[in-house]
Amino acid sequence: PHVIHRKDYKEPDFIVEKVELVFDLDRDITNVKSRLFVAANPARGTGKGDEVFLHGEDMKLLSVTLDDARLASSDFTVDAEGLRFVAPGENFIAEIETQISPANNTRLEGLYVSQSAFCTQCEAEGFRRITYFPDRPDVMATYKVTINADKASCPVLLSNGNLIDSGDLEGGRHFAVWEDPFPKPSYLFALVAGDLACVEDSFKTRSGRDVALRIFVEHGNEDRCDYAMDSLIRSMKWDEDVYGLEYDLDLFNIVAVSDFNMGAMENKSLNIFNAKYILAKPDTATDMDYELIESIVAHEYFHNWSGNRVTCRDWFQLSLKEGLTVFRDQEFSADQRSRPVQRIKDVAQLRARQFPEDGGPLAHPVRPDSYMEINNFYTATVYEKGAELIRMMHTLLGADGYRKGIDLYFDRHDGQAVTCDDFAKAMEDANDADFSQLKRWYSQAGTPELTWQGDYDADAKQFTLTITQKTDPTPGQPDKLPLHMPIAVGLLGADGSDLVAKTVELIQDRQEFVFDGVGQKPVVSFNRGFSAPVNVMTDQPDAELVFLMGNDADAFNRWEAGQKYATRLMLGAIAGFEENGGDADSALDATGESVDAFIAAMRATLLNNDLDKAFRADALVLPGEEFLSEQRKPANPEAIHQVRKALRKRIGLALLADFANCYHQNGSNAAFAPDATSAGQRALRATALGYLVASEKGEYADLAAEQYRTADNMTDQMAALSVLNHLDHPGRADALADFEARFAKDGVVLDKWFALQAMSSRDDTLARVKDLMSHPGFTMRNPNKVRSLIGAFAVGNPRAFHAKDGSGYAFYVDRLIELDDINPQVAARLCAPLGKWAKYDADRVGLMKAALERVLAKPEISRDLYEIASKSIA
């Protein structure tokens, strides 16, 4: 397949200023008429007689008419990529008629059918599956859209912008005309038609505009929209307060659909969501679901400015809108909830998803240099590492300087399609700053490794911190340059308070920072708040970690110290397990007394009522199996699983009374409320239950079964079910059967049931997953189902996926091959876990590479899957 390079960017030869679309909707054959007001691009010097190219795929072309003259078929050419003809003038009107088949669109890109509704997904390149068009983000046009459809099955007709006309047609059909006054790239086009219920509210902007807010869902789900609506209203207010950005139309629509390739889509004034990220009520959604709904609703809303009003010039600039918008939604959530807890979650996520990507075969810079299929670049690197880059700008400039930069950016570029460099330039210009070195974060892949060393001079009362940085080579980037980054440092005195708290700027490979007036030898709290997205390699003694766990003024680093301690302990025991032939318990003992010291420190955290409960819940969770496998080479999934399990058992046994108290004290009789404080209490109680059950004292499994039966909300039920899930307890089967019966018809909720079973550490899991493929609620055509059952198996069950006999891989490759013919985008995304072969032992390397070979041997493999599989095997 063809590789597209960033350096080859050229402005478009012709632009489209205005689009008029008429859709005659039908599930099998939808007719699309477009009228494009085309103009030559002066910057390209094009004009009459030059070739015009319009992207188009998988459509039937019926006619092409230029300035009212219908072209003979010899006057244009069509191939798999698009349509070519000769421009009749510098400005002309092109009318194009096409047919598409929404019901047969299993890729879920372009116009497709989800349940009974028509909907669209155009980012990145789906619009070219609707009509012929210069489908690139630097072509921005105004849209007028007419939708004709059957009135009975599609009473609701929606597109972007304002409704300007509607009425009845003959034959039981009706129409609506929508006009969007804001020029936009084609990827932001959207259309929805169906029989949907609507929940309404409103928002008054600070300048007094009344905005109608509507959420459309399938009938019967009207009572599950409150939290999404509330999140939307809070997002609108937050963007005014923190960014000075107001909404710019009189209505804002959200539609929830069941079949969706990703989380949600920010189409102008018509956001389309995966129903999973809208629907919630206490007995169907967990606290985590509520949190995700809040952040994704906010994310898509924030895109109205960071993405829509100012968009990307080309897809290499994707992080311009995604990194910035993720940073915005993270900060929104931090303001709505607990800031340190939010930071912990964001960093844990970055470590679990982005660091492995950056250290593996698919590593790429935040602003990639090339791609085969752009959909493969909606990655943790572009999103989450991109957000870290914006966060570093925020740290370096301070909140006020950052805001000045943001104001200049939106002022300067409103209505334009721009680049990451344009963003950085606005930040620099508004602050007289120099980001030339900071910008390397855009172009250089890989996670930097930092080490530090402290030297205390008691006579001079001076503390010298020497920091070094290096970044390992990544594919295509053998040599790395030093990066510019802010490192927040605390120097703690013996009483635990800060002697010094300061953010230093690292710019060199090796750099010394001298702190004066330090009256005693301090304990260093390094990279507070994860001020730079790096791996810190320096080992601090256990005693210092315990001290930081109990005293650090920076809550993030308290958590971090505990994670480091736990990681070191488990890595030691994992090595021991491999040497002693598989005894996790004695491997833990062989690490010495540090286990007890660690458990004592965990206990102190558990009992520290000054810390908020959500924080304590997070601090008590051991680093996950996936994270541990990143730290071991070769990684032994069985050893990792057994050691982590054994340590959890130790902690559970040692702190049995404390966890039992915690469990009972944190029950609640109050009605479920999704706020952060109540959620924190539930999370802490769930953690306690988890450890009680991990102790393997039988009565606690009964307690979990009891909790499942008596809980009045999904959070507590899932907490119980997720611990039962790994056991051979009768409560497990009962609870799973109950869950299945209650939610048989409720796709979004049933997904939890599929995922649980796929992630079970029981030995029968793979067999069960295979059975579940023929469950009536499962279909390979629905991405949520595929992710819940197949994806969760690979990512959430490393032990079964990496089974030594290769059974996990074999099953998985069959699914990838099957899925590639249905939905290549989702298939490609699912392929990534196989690319981690370099982390494993020789047998697994062989099996995983063979698995990738088998993927690559698939006839008619998609560009999406080919790119991931071929890069993964290299």
* Residue 378 interacts with which of ligand B3K, Zn ion, none, CB < 5 to 8 Å by class: ligand B3K
* Residue 135 interacts with which of ligand B3K, Zn ion, none, CB < 5 to 8 Å by class: none
- Return the number of other C-beta atoms located less than 10 Å from residue 433's C-beta: 16
Give 5-12 contacts, CB < 8 A, sequence gap 24+: 5/369, 5/370, 6/314, 6/316, 6/367, 6/368, 6/369, 6/370, 7/369, 9/313, 9/314, 9/316, 10/44, 11/41, 11/43, 11/44, 11/138, 12/41, 12/44, 12/134, 12/136, 12/138, 12/139
* Residue 129 interacts with which of ligand B3K, Zn ion, none, CB < 5 to 8 Å by class: none
What pairs with residue 149 in β-bridges?
174
Smallest distance from the beta carbon of 374 to ligand B3K, in angstroms?
Answer: 8
Residue 124 vs 570, nearer CB to ligand B3K:
124
Q: How far is CA 158 from CA 64, 108, 176, 214, 494, in A?
A: 27, 18, 8, 11, 64
Residue 264 vs 861, nearer CB to ligand B3K:
264
Distance from C-alpha of 255 to C-alpha of 162, rounded to nearest angstrom = 16
Residue 406 vs 701, nearer CB to Zn ion:
406
Amino acid sitting at position 35: R
| Contacts of ligand B3K in 117-156 (CB under 6 A) | 123-124
Smallest distance from the beta carbon of 179 to ligand B3K, in angstroms?
Answer: 23
Selected range binding ligand B3K among 202-210, 261-269, 395-403, 521-529, rule: CB under 6 A: 261-269
Residue 121 vs 725, nearer CB to ligand B3K:
121
Distance from C-alpha of 529 to C-alpha of 330, rounded to nearest angstrom = 13
Six token digits for residue 546:
């315990």
| Contacts of ligand B3K in 281-310 (CB under 6 A) | 299-300, 303
Which three-class secondary structure string do you get for 57-94? CCCEEEEEEECCEECCHHHEEECCCEEEEECCCCEEEE
Residue 387 vs 694, nearer CB to ligand B3K:
387
Distance from C-alpha of 247 to C-alpha of 211, rounded to nearest angstrom = 8
Distance from C-alpha of 66 to C-alpha of 243, rounded to nearest angstrom = 45
Asked if 322 interacts with ligand B3K (CB under 6 A), we say: yes
Residue 384 vs 867, nearer CB to Zn ion:
384
Q: Is 300 a catalytic residue?
A: yes
* Residue 560 interacts with which of ligand B3K, Zn ion, none, CB < 5 to 8 Å by class: none
Closest C-alpha among 313, 533, 514 to residue 418:
313
Region label for 711, one of left (φ > 0), alpha (ψ between -120 and 50) or beta (otherwise): beta
The count of residues interacting with ligand B3K (CB under 6 A) is 12
Name the phi and psi angles at 221, rounded to 5.
-105, 10
Distance from C-alpha of 552 to C-alpha of 559, rounded to nearest angstrom = 9
Distance from C-alpha of 274 to C-alpha of 785, rounded to nearest angstrom = 12
Smallest distance from the beta carbon of 401 to Zn ion, in angstroms?
Answer: 25
Asked if 184 interacts with ligand B3K (CB under 6 A), we say: no
Burial class (CB in 10 A: 0-12, 13-18, 19+), 596: exposed
* Ordered alpha helix ranges (H), 53-211: none
* Residue 123 interacts with which of ligand B3K, Zn ion, none, CB < 5 to 8 Å by class: ligand B3K
Instruction: Please state the separation of Cα 692 from the chain's center in Å.
Output: 32
Selected range binding ligand B3K among 259-267, 410-418, 432-440, 566-574, rule: CB under 6 A: 259-267
Q: Is the dihedral of CA 634, 638, 641, 643 positive or negative?
A: negative
In which residue are the tokens 């983000």 written? Answer: 137
Smallest distance from the beta carbon of 137 to ligand B3K, in angstroms?
Answer: 11
Smallest distance from the beta carbon of 701 to ligand B3K, in angstroms?
Answer: 41
* Residue 262 interacts with which of Zn ion, ligand B3K, none, CB < 5 to 8 Å by class: ligand B3K
Burial class (CB in 10 A: 0-12, 13-18, 19+), 16: buried
Smallest distance from the beta carbon of 621 to ligand B3K, in angstroms?
Answer: 27
Residue 163 vs 374, nearer CB to ligand B3K:
374
Smallest distance from the beta carbon of 122 to ligand B3K, in angstroms?
Answer: 9
Q: 262, 292, 845, 856: which one contacts ligand B3K (CB under 6 A)? A: 262
Q: 265, 445, 488, 499: which one contacts ligand B3K (CB under 6 A)? A: 265
* Residue 25 interacts with which of Zn ion, ligand B3K, none, CB < 5 to 8 Å by class: none
Asked if 832 interacts with ligand B3K (CB under 6 A), we say: no
Q: Which of 109, 294, 300, 322 is catalytic?
A: 300
Smallest distance from the beta carbon of 318 to ligand B3K, in angstroms?
Answer: 8
Six token digits for residue 823:
């939905």
Residue 322 vs 358, nearer CB to Zn ion:
322
DSSP result, 740-789 = HHHHTT-HHHHHHHHHHHHH--STTHHHHHHHHTTSTT--TT-HHHHIII
Smallest distance from the beta carbon of 383 to Zn ion, in angstroms?
Answer: 7
* Residue 715 interacts with which of Zn ion, ligand B3K, none, CB < 5 to 8 Å by class: none
Residue 264 vs 826, nearer CB to Zn ion:
264
Strands (E), 67-204: 69-70, 76-78, 82-86, 91-100, 110-114, 117-121, 140-150, 156-159, 162-168, 173-185, 191-194, 197-204
The answer to whether the beta carbons of residues 255 and 262 sit under 8 Å apart is no
Continuous segment of H or E residues that includes residue 19 = strand 14-24
Closest C-alpha among 630, 465, 448 to residue 533:
448
Smallest distance from the beta carbon of 267 to ligand B3K, in angstroms?
Answer: 9
Question: Between vectors from CA 579 to CA 576 and to CA 581, what angle results, nearest 5°?
Answer: 105
Smallest distance from the beta carbon of 277 to ligand B3K, in angstroms?
Answer: 11
Helix (H, G, I), strand (E, B) or coil at 139: coil
Smallest distance from the beta carbon of 266 to ligand B3K, in angstroms?
Answer: 5
| Contacts of Zn ion in 308-327 (CB under 5 A) | 322, 325
639-658 mask for ligand B3K (x: CB under 6 A)?
A: --------------------
- Beta carbons within 8 Å of 236's beta carbon, 6+ residues apart: 203, 205, 211, 247, 301
375-414 mask for ligand B3K (x: CB under 6 A)?
A: x--x------------------------------------
Smallest distance from the beta carbon of 467 to Zn ion, in angstroms?
Answer: 33
338-377 mask for ligand B3K (x: CB under 6 A)?
A: -------------------------------------x--
The count of residues interacting with Zn ion (CB under 5 A) is 2
* Ordered alpha helix ranges (H), 202-338: 226-243, 287-302, 318-336
Residue 253 vs 477, nearer CB to Zn ion:
253
Q: 266, 422, 554, 867: which one contacts ligand B3K (CB under 6 A)? A: 266
* Residue 799 interacts with which of ligand B3K, Zn ion, none, CB < 5 to 8 Å by class: none
DSSP result, 316-335 = GGHHHHHHHHHHHHHHHHHH
Residue 324 vs 772, nearer CB to ligand B3K:
324
Distance from C-alpha of 37 to C-alpha of 672, rounded to nearest angstrom = 54
Distance from C-alpha of 502 to C-alpha of 488, rounded to nearest angstrom = 6
Residue 304 vs 591, nearer CB to Zn ion:
304
Residue 25 vs 265, nearer CB to Zn ion:
265
Contact residues for ligand B3K (CB under 6 A)?
123-124, 262, 264-266, 299-300, 303, 322, 375, 378
Residues known to be catalytic: 300
Contact residues for Zn ion (CB under 5 A)?
322, 325
